[in-house]
Structures are given as C-alpha cells and as structure tokens.
Structure 1
Amino acid sequence: MTIDMTAGGLYEGLPARHIEAFLEHLRTAGYVDSTLRKKQRVLTAFARWMKGRTIALAHLDESAIGAFVNRSVGAPATRVQFELAVLRLLLTYLRSKAIVRLAAPVDDLLVDRISGRYVDYLRQDRGLAENSVHVYAPFIRNFLRSQHAADTGFVIPAAFDATTIRNHLLARSKGRSGEYTRLMTVALRSFFHFLFLCGDTPRDLASAVPTVRKWRQSSVPTFLTPEQEETILSCTDRSSPRGRCDYAVLLLLARLGLRAGEIVALELDDIHWRSAELVVHGKNHMVEHVPLLYDVGEALAMYLRDDRGASASRRVFLRMWAPRIGLTGPAAVGHIVRLAFARAGFRPACRGAAHLFRHGLATTMIRHGASMAEIAEVLRHRPQDSTAIYAKVSFEALRGVARAWPATGGA
C-alpha cells in the first residue's frame, strides 16, 4: 500500500515512511486491506492535523492524540473510539522502534528498575510460570509507586519497615476480596525476601507481612459428566473455521485434561505426529509428554491444515482476528469454553469453566477404578493433595466402607 503525501511525502513531524512502515507492520500481523485503508485515512488526517499545529514527532504523546480525537464537537462515538485505537497503536509502534521516546518520571524509572529485577528473580531463580509472574508483578509495582519519597522522588528500599507494610495493606485491602488480599500478601512476602537476598534491606521483612487465612474447600469438586462433555462437543459447529478451532481446544481439555495455560503455550514443534505425542509445558516449567489420541490429533490436523493460516507466531492456536498472534492467556480458552457451555445450555454455578473438563476426566477415571497414583500421572500432579480431592466423588466406593448411621432405638 502506497501513501500519497504532499511536499515530497513528508508532513510536519510525521514522515510518510513511518506511516508506511506502521501499515506494513499491521499487514504482517494479519490485518486485511480494507481495515488498513480505514486506518490509513485516520493516519493521513492526523498527519495533516500535526502539520497544521507544527507538532514535532518528538512531542507526540497521549495528550496530542487526545486533542486530535476531540477536535470535533459532537463527533460520533464510534469514530472517536476508532481513531483513538488507531493512534494509540501507532504511538505504541513508534515507541517500540525508539522513534518516539516515553518520557517517564524519575520515580517511574526507579520503579521499573526495581520491579524488573524482581521479575527476573521470579523467572530465573524461582522458576515461576508466566501466569504467576503476571499475578505478582502488579502488586509490587503498586507498592513501589505508593512508597516513593515525596521530597526526593526516589524509592528507598532500606527505609521500608513493618509500619510501611501495615499501612500499605490497610489502604489497599479496603473493599477487596479475601483472595485479592491473600495474593497481595504472598507477592509482598516474596518481594521483601528478594530485597533482603539482594542486600537492599538490612533485614528480611517477609516475616512482617501478615498471613491471610485461606480455607481449603471441603466440598465435592464440580465436574462435567461424560454425557455433558459429549453434548458440549456435539454443539460445536465444525463447519466454520472458528468452530473447528474451538472443537480442537475443547478436545484437548476433555480428552487430555490439559490446563488452559498449557493449551495457550502449545507450539507447532510440540506436536510429534510420528510418535503420536504432545509436549506439554506445565506448571513450574515442567515439560512432559502426553499421548496424542486419535480424535484429538484429527481435530488438530484439520484446524492446522485448513484454518490456522500463516503467521510468524509458532503458537498452535492464534487469534481469529488481527493481529494474528498467539492467544493472550488462559482467559481466551475460558472464553471459548463459556461460549460452548452457552450453546449447550449448560450453566455451571462455579468459576474456572475450563477446569471442569479436567475435573470431569479425573472423576470418570476414578469411577472406572483408577487409583490416585494413576490419576496423578494423567493430570501431571506433583503434590498428592491436588489429587486427593477426587476421592470425594467416588460415592459408591465410599458407601462400601461407611458405617451405618444409628437409628432411633439403636437399630
């Protein structure tokens, strides 16, 4: 796609070559020509607007974008939202190429430096999965931002103490759920231990972070019966590309008991067709091989051959719309499952929709006489407590060992 610019192809502050490179970047990401033409019109209008106000590229930021989209009083909301999305994407691209620099306050730079070191520690030293890193990191950034010294603008870890921790927890836990508060304390405890190991604090303040009690669920885990699973699978329309993708995802959940995050992380090289195996990247960086069952392999082959399309990403499952990259996270698999439940008229009264297939697989195995060790092997559990919860669902086996309940009169 070429762009017709005036005066040698250069508007004030926004060279045509950057717009062309940005559009080519979007095309590589999977955007179709009709969408690119719409985005080009926005970029051309923005370039003219920048020229009229002599805004230099070095001064391009969110405030300039805001002024542009609000230039017309009473403009349709859909147009404003589209322009805003296009220009935010442009600004992100220009910053990623170091064409436009992000001017960050001093304290933000320090927050980034400290939290970046902590994230590296979680990944390299602790070996945490990316999902866990994404949970911990925001809590630490919020804490650091709240603790920079107002007079100097610096974050001073050596000045942290038990009072600092208490005040932060009291302020941030108001109106929050117990689970949110528990995760915040876990993240802070890990962070303060990290600071001590690095010599940034004179003592380990991890012990100053209070523990939030978590009650272990004693009820029977919710699961899908084999009949419910087959109904959900049969309601998936395999005549469309989206349906074939969803069907392959649902089979991986139902037949192999994969976790949502494991499906997201699957790459093309993880499918070993000749040996009929899948390489699964599980929790704590565990890499394991699971059998590629016939119907699962058939669904994967059909999706890869007919629907996945070309992409620079090596992930098996891609977004249906541009940019054509891997799924963003486990929530994308959860969305597929919830849509499948809706089509089948199934409304579970619990969270974690994708995990119900995993519970269902374990329940079916135990009802067919599988041992706890066999279930743990299939589900790739490390702690035995993770598998022990499924002992509660074998009601018939429990009746065989339960003592009779005493009736009136001692009968």
Structure 2
Amino acid sequence: MIRTYFSDPTAWQRLHAGPLSPYIDPFEQHLSDQGYAAVTVVDKLRVVAKLSRWLERHQLSVDALGEQQVGAFLRELHQRERRTYHGDPATLQSLLEQLRCSGILARPLTPVDESLEARLERDYAQYLHNERGLSDATLRIYLPFIRDFLLTCIDQGSLDLEQLCIRDVTNFVLNQAPKLGPARAQLMVTALRSFLLFLQQRGYLRVPLAAAVPTVAHWRLSTVPKYLEPEQVDRLLQHCDQSTVAGQRDYTMLLLLARLGLRAGDLVHACLDDIDWHRGLLTVRGKGNRADQLPLPVDVGEALAKYLHDGRPSCTTRRVFVRMKAPHVGFASSVAIDSMMRRALKRANLEPACKGAHLLRHSLATRMLRQGASLVEIGQLLRHRLPQTTEIYAKIDRDTLIALAQQWPGGVA
C-alpha cells in the first residue's frame, strides 16, 4: 500500500533508507488503521524517513533511539529547514510507542521519586487500593488533593510531618474550598480526613489531626435539578445535521442521553459488544463496575444502527463512539461528551443554567415524573443505587407538593 503514496521510485527508496527502513511499512499500516488521510500519512512518513537518515549520519542504531535522540533530531531539523511542524513531535512519539509495543525498543525506566511526599503518596494509594478496596477512579479523585496538601506543607524544601498542626489543615481547606464547587470541596475534605487518619495509623503524626478537618456545607436536596422542557429536548435533537457523519454521531449520543438517561461516562465506555440487537438491549457499564441492561427504544436503535453502518469511521477500537478526526479512537473522558452537549445547545439557541450532559438525564426524570411515573421507576431507569438519590426529583412535582403543604396558622396554605 505504501507505494501508492510515492509514485516516484527515488522518493520511495529514500523513504526506506537508514536504520528505520524495516519499520516504515508497519508504521504506515498503523497510521492507515487509525484513519489518517493519505496526505497526512505522507507527511508523517517523510519525517520518520528524515529521522532514519539522521540516525544513519550519526551512526546510531534503532536500539539507541529514545526521547532524547528524537529531541536532538527535531532541534537540528528546525535549525536546518527553518520551520516547525507542530505534528512532528507527536508523530515520532507515536513511532516510539509502536516500536516499544512491538518489543523492538525497551521501555525507558521511569525514575522513582524518593522524596518523603512521593513515598507517602504511593503508600497512601496502596493503602486505599489494598486495605480499603477503593477503585482506581476514587484514587484519581483523592490523590491530587493529597499531593496539593503535601506541597503546601513543605517548608524550605523539606517535609516535617511532626510539625503539622491544626492551623496547617484549616488553612489548606480554607484556601482550596472557595476554588471548588460544594460537592468537590466535600470530596477534598473527605480525602484529607482519610489521609490524616492514615498518617496517624502509620505513626507519622504526634497528634491526631483528622478531627480538625473542617466540614463543607452542602445539604442534600438543597437544590432543584436543572432540566429542559420536552419541546426544548426535541429542538436540541432537531438541530443536529444528520446528513453529516459528525451530526449523525452527535444525534445518536444525544438521543441515548435523552431517552435512556445515560451518564456521559456511559457513552465514553460503551462498546460494540454491549449491544444485543436480537433482544433489543443495551448493557450499560456504569459506576462501581455495575452492568445494567436497558431496553433500546425503536428510535434509539434506528439511530444507533444508522450511525454504526453509515457514520462510524473504520477503526480497530471496540468503542461505539469514536473521534471523527484521526486517530479514530474512543474519547479520553466524559469532557468530550459535555463539549458536544454545549455545542448542541448553542446550535439550538438554548441557554440553560447547566450545560453538561447530565442536563438530559435530569430532563428525562422530570418528564417521567410529570407523566405519572413513580420515584421507584425513575430510580430504576437512572440506575440509582439508593432511593434517596431519586428523592430530589420530588421537588419538581409542584402539584403533589402543593397538596402536601400545611395551612399557615391564621392564613391560607
């Protein structure tokens, strides 16, 4: 296939010069599998060929290739050609990764940070995982807070845990909490309290400090869920241009959010194997490694089938929803789904207070409640673990709340 990109035999021979010549063809296949356009593949192969000839001039073998050599090559290339292609570093990093995955290059040893704060963070992560049984997702939430706390406790380049006091703890919380929302601030104080208990158990603290962590006020059911009216949801869907590949993908994702109340993360991790076309079921792998099966409504199934048949790029990933631009891989996080939701709201000229993907989840629950569904039924569809999680939607049912209102002494209800 690579010859189709280079009709000139001389150019094709120059492409296969140097120590990297045996790996040019596999790399080209890798780029094609990821969905890169032909002109982009050519540009990427040319920079790899230049690196190969650079290695040959410097009498370096492939075994000597690494980030340091790539950096030196790019600096010399920039000085010689007086130009910078922003995609070159990413191309060569992708080449290194492929050579390492193939076993041609050894993975570099990551230097281990032996500072006290780094060791404490590693030990705490191991404690949370092995002794507390917390998931990797929880660790990704807790550890950045702990890292920030330890950095604030470093005095003149060193960390002295015996000198920690209540003031250090309260100052950290008071400085960080205003920068966070109430829910995230609560996660921060929970992580800090857990970490201080860990330090106390390991004998690092002279006095117990966990009880000194301030609490963050965030009362349950204190807010009303933000939602769209049914006609606004329809308007949101209608403004997706299904004649384009990206529009068909976005329409399918929005429909899943609106009809099944999925979370953004559910869309990110949805795989082709989760769809049971014969029984019309979708397996949703949500929080806490739970796997629930939801029925596929007709319109959702039709949109999903059309996207997979006509719109989804040809790629090797098993993710249902993938990037439109190469590399064609699944989304890295739910941030991409929230960004898609904001773009859709802008196209429909809607300006709700909340613009994340969760807005459609709240909208579905509100619509079901108004149509007579019970809180139990809503909780089952939304896959809530606890009934208390669904209770917040009771505040939206104003007619029922009015009927429950007590008459004010000496006045009307």
Q: Is the 8 A contact 1:39 1:86 kept in 2?
A: yes
Structural mapping, 1:186-265, within 5 Å = 186-190=190-194, 207=210, 210-216=213-219, 218-265=222-269
How far did residue 338 of structure 1 move?
Answer: 1.2
What SS class does the counterpart of residue 337 from structure 1 fall into?
Answer: helix
1:372-397 superposed Cα distances (whole Å, 9 cap, x missing partner): 21211121112233211111112232
1:209-243 superposed Cα distances (whole Å, 9 cap, x missing partner): 82541423623221011011000000111111111
> In the alignment, which of 4, 18, 23 is matched to residue 10 of structure 1?
18
> In the alignment, which of 294, 297, 318 is matched to residue 298 of structure 2?
294
Q: 1:141 to 1:87 in 2, by over 3 A?
A: farther
Q: 1:201 to 1:218 in 2, by over 3 A?
A: same
1:96-154 superposed Cα distances (whole Å, 9 cap, x missing partner): 44514324323279999987787677678766566444333545666789999x99x9x
Q: 1:28 to 1:54 in 2, by over 3 A?
A: same
The one-letter code matched in structure 2 to 1:322 is: A
Aligned twin of 1:27:
32
Q: Is the 8 A contact 1:129 1:285 kept in 2?
A: no
Instruction: State whether structure 2 residue 326 is matched by structure 1 residue 326.
Output: no
Structural mapping, 1:106-121, within 5 Å = 106-107=112-113
1:316-340 superposed Cα distances (whole Å, 9 cap, x missing partner): 1122122222222211211221111
1:287-328 superposed Cα distances (whole Å, 9 cap, x missing partner): 111111110011011111112244332221122122222222
1:335-376 superposed Cα distances (whole Å, 9 cap, x missing partner): 22111111101122235x100101111111111222221211
Paired with 1:20 and 1:316, the residues of 2 have a C-alpha distance of: 29
Structural mapping, 1:70-85, within 5 Å = 70-71=75-76, 72=78, 79-85=84-90
Aligned twin of 1:91:
96
Q: 1:206 to 1:242 in 2, by over 3 A?
A: farther
What SS class does the counterpart of residue 23 from structure 2 fall into?
Answer: helix
How far did residue 280 of structure 1 move?
Answer: 1.1
Instruction: State whether structure 2 residue 382 is matched by structure 1 residue 388.
Output: no
Q: 1:131 to 1:233 in 2, by over 3 A?
A: farther
The one-letter code matched in structure 2 to 1:390 is: Y
Question: Which stretch shows the higher mean deviation, 354-363 or 306-315?
Answer: 306-315
Aligned twin of 2:111:
105
Structural mapping, 1:29-44, within 5 Å = 29-44=34-49
Q: Is the 8 A contact 2:161 2:205 kept in 1?
A: no
Paired with 1:137 and 1:75, the residues of 2 have a C-alpha distance of: 44
Paired with 1:222 and 1:304, the residues of 2 have a C-alpha distance of: 32
The one-letter code matched in structure 2 to 1:34 is: V
What SS class does the counterpart of residue 53 from structure 2 fall into?
Answer: helix
Question: Which stretch shows the higher mean deviation, 304-313 or 2-11?
Answer: 2-11
Q: CA RMSD in A?
A: 4.2
The one-letter code matched in structure 2 to 1:381 is: H
Paired with 1:54 and 1:168, the residues of 2 have a C-alpha distance of: 57
Q: 1:31 to 1:204 in 2, by over 3 A?
A: farther
How far did residue 173 of structure 1 move?
Answer: 7.8
The one-letter code matched in structure 1 to 2:249 is: C
Aligned twin of 1:311:
315
Q: Is the 8 A contact 1:280 1:290 kept in 2?
A: yes
Q: 1:280 to 1:146 in 2, by over 3 A?
A: same
Question: Which stretch shows the higher mean deviation, 277-286 or 308-317?
Answer: 308-317
The one-letter code matched in structure 2 to 1:314 is: R
1:152-203 superposed Cα distances (whole Å, 9 cap, x missing partner): x9xx9xx966829985895798567134654444345556777899x89899
The one-letter code matched in structure 2 to 1:235 is: H
Q: 1:401 to 1:260 in 2, by over 3 A?
A: same
What SS class does the counterpart of residue 278 from structure 1 fall into?
Answer: strand
What SS class does the counterpart of residue 164 from structure 2 fall into?
Answer: helix
Paired with 1:209 and 1:93, the residues of 2 have a C-alpha distance of: 50
Instruction: State whether structure 2 residue 184 is matched by structure 1 residue 178.
Output: no
Q: Is the 8 A contact 2:248 2:307 kept in 1?
A: yes
Q: 1:195 to 1:285 in 2, by over 3 A?
A: farther
Q: 1:178 to 1:204 in 2, by over 3 A?
A: farther
Instruction: State whether structure 2 residue 50 is matched by structure 1 residue 45.
Output: yes
How far did residue 20 of structure 1 move?
Answer: 3.6
How far did residue 272 of structure 1 move?
Answer: 1.5
Instruction: State whether structure 2 residue 360 is matched by structure 1 residue 357.
Output: yes
Q: 1:131 to 1:104 in 2, by over 3 A?
A: closer
The one-letter code matched in structure 2 to 1:247 is: Y
Question: Which stretch shows the higher mean deviation, 67-76 or 320-329?
Answer: 67-76
How far did residue 24 of structure 1 move?
Answer: 2.7
Structural mapping, 1:150-169, within 5 Å = 163=164
Q: Is the 8 A contact 1:365 1:375 kept in 2?
A: yes
Question: Which stretch shows the higher mean deviation, 211-220 or 79-88?
Answer: 211-220
Q: Is the 8 A contact 1:185 1:209 kept in 2?
A: no
Q: 1:407 to 1:394 in 2, by over 3 A?
A: same
Paired with 2:115 and 2:67, the residues of 1 have a C-alpha distance of: 19
Q: Is the 8 A contact 2:228 2:363 kept in 1?
A: yes
Q: 1:89 to 1:170 in 2, by over 3 A?
A: farther
What SS class does the counterpart of residue 113 from structure 2 fall into?
Answer: helix
Paired with 1:147 and 1:17, the residues of 2 have a C-alpha distance of: 52
Q: 1:26 to 1:164 in 2, by over 3 A?
A: farther
Number of residue pairs matched? 399
Q: Is the 8 A contact 1:224 1:357 kept in 2?
A: yes
Q: Is the 8 A contact 1:253 1:357 kept in 2?
A: yes
Paired with 1:41 and 1:210, the residues of 2 have a C-alpha distance of: 57
Question: Which stretch shows the higher mean deviation, 53-62 or 39-48?
Answer: 53-62
